């Protein structure tokens, strides 16, 4: 009995902590945000600390829903901050679920590639880590939490806007 209570207490603490890391949103129609920025995203883009930004959009596969529509705003030149909006299509009984997360990113150059590393939270202490390869006018997701994708063709986000 004591072990069950301890387990439930720990589980509750973990869920409470993780809930603080992810900003849950009321359902938004993703197609609207593809053509117009929502006010919070526009405020994020206009933040004076970073002069450059890129916005990427695309749809990736989902095991538990129809698909995931992603919109990624990356601010900075070789390091900076990001905001990722993910809409899980038909994820719940009520329809879509939208999650917004943010964190830090950095660019790493290898012999043949430029890799974008997104880290929810700080670069050194991440809750969630994603790696993308930079390509002309798009980025391709290579991994999520250090699990490599075998077929990256379905994990492409196209650049839709950048700073001037």
Residue 103 lies in a domain: yes
pTM: 0.70
Residue 13 lies in a domain: no
What CATH number does the domain containing 114 carry?
A: 2.40.128.640
d(CA 75, CA 105): 9
Instruction: Look at 146 and 142; give whichever has higher pLDDT.
Output: 142
Residue 9 lies in a domain: no
Per-residue confidence band for 29, with pLDDT thresholds at 50, 70 and 90: very low
Specify the number of domains making up the chain.
1
Contact 74, 64 (CB under 8 A): no
Counts for the chain of helices (H) and strands (E), in that order: 3, 10
Q: What percent of the chain has pLDDT above 90?
A: 35
Residue 7 lies in a domain: no
Residue written as tokens 């829903």?
Answer: 65
73 lies in which domain range? 24-162
User: What is the distance, to the nearest Å, from the Cα of residue 51 to the centroid of all Cα atoms in its chain?
Assistant: 21
Residue 105 lies in a domain: yes
């Amino acid at each position: 009995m004591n072990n069950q209570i301890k387990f439930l207490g720990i589980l509750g603490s973990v869920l409470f902590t993780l809930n603080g890391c992810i900003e849950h949103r009321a359902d938004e129609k993703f197609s609207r945000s593809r053509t117009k920025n929502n006010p919070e995203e526009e405020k994020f883009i206009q933040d004076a600390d970073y002069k450059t930004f890129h916005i990427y959009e695309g749809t990736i596969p989902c095991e538990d829903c129809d698909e995931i529509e992603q919109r990624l705003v990356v601010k900075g030149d070789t390091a900076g901050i990001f905001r990722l909006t993910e809409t899980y299509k038909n994820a719940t009984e009520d329809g879509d679920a939208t999650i917004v997360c943010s964190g830090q990113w950095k660019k790493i150059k290898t012999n043949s590639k430029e890799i974008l590393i997104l880290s929810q939270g700080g670069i050194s202490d991440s809750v969630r880590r994603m790696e993308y390869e930079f390509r002309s006018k798009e980025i391709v997701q290579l991994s999520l939490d250090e699990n490599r994708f075998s077929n990256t063709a379905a994990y492409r986000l196209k650049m839709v806007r950048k700073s001037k």
